[in-house]
Amino acid sequence: MKKIMTYGTFDLLHPGHINLLRRAKEMGDYLIVGVSTDEFNHKKNKKAYHPYKSRKIIVEAIRYVDKVIPEADWDQKVDDIIRYDIDIFVIGDDWKGTFDFLKRYCDVTYLPRTSGVSSSKIKKDREKN
Ligand code: C2G
């Protein structure tokens, strides 16, 4: 069984998130998603609308996702990859190069982001209307 891992905040879910998760799942058989905790979002200078508990429920409901774990720290990826026996780490190419150090443990793939949509754009557009 080929196991895939990705991480993200996944706030205000939109087609960009779904496109990423669909393509990630298509690369293997089992997809684990590390959803950023509220505390970790603070470290990423991100303020999610939905708290972690809600974002976890939402991501767990996505057909491509097999398991959700909390992403609480920048440094947990190596442990996660080893613990869950991950074959491929996948993330959007806005992170290109950032996680190349994981190549010692698994394949690393950066997928093209979906243009024109983002959680922050949704928030901004809502404020305007
Ligand atoms: N994404 C995408 N297209 C968009 C928006 C997001 O492909 N229009 C991808 C991102 O590249 C990421 C995933 O969807 O792979 C989740 O995006 P975010 O929720 O913004 O997550 P991010 O803040 O990038 O967190 O340790 C890694 C970080 O936790 C990643």
> Is residue 33 over pLDDT 90?
yes
DSSP 69-113: EEE--GGGHHHHHHHTT-SEEEEEGGGTTTTGGGGGTSEEEEEPP
Catalytic site residue from 2, 43, 44, 124 = 44
Spatial separation of the C-alpha atoms in residues 59 and 75, rounded to whole Å: 22
Are 76 and 86 contacting, i.e. CB atoms less than 8 angstroms apart? no
Tell me: the pLDDT tens digits for 58-85? Answer: 999 999 999 999 999 999 999 999 999 9
The whole model's pTM is what? 0.96
Ligand 1 site residues, Cβ closer than 6 angstroms = 7-10, 16-17, 20, 36, 44, 46, 71, 91-92, 94, 113-114, 117-118
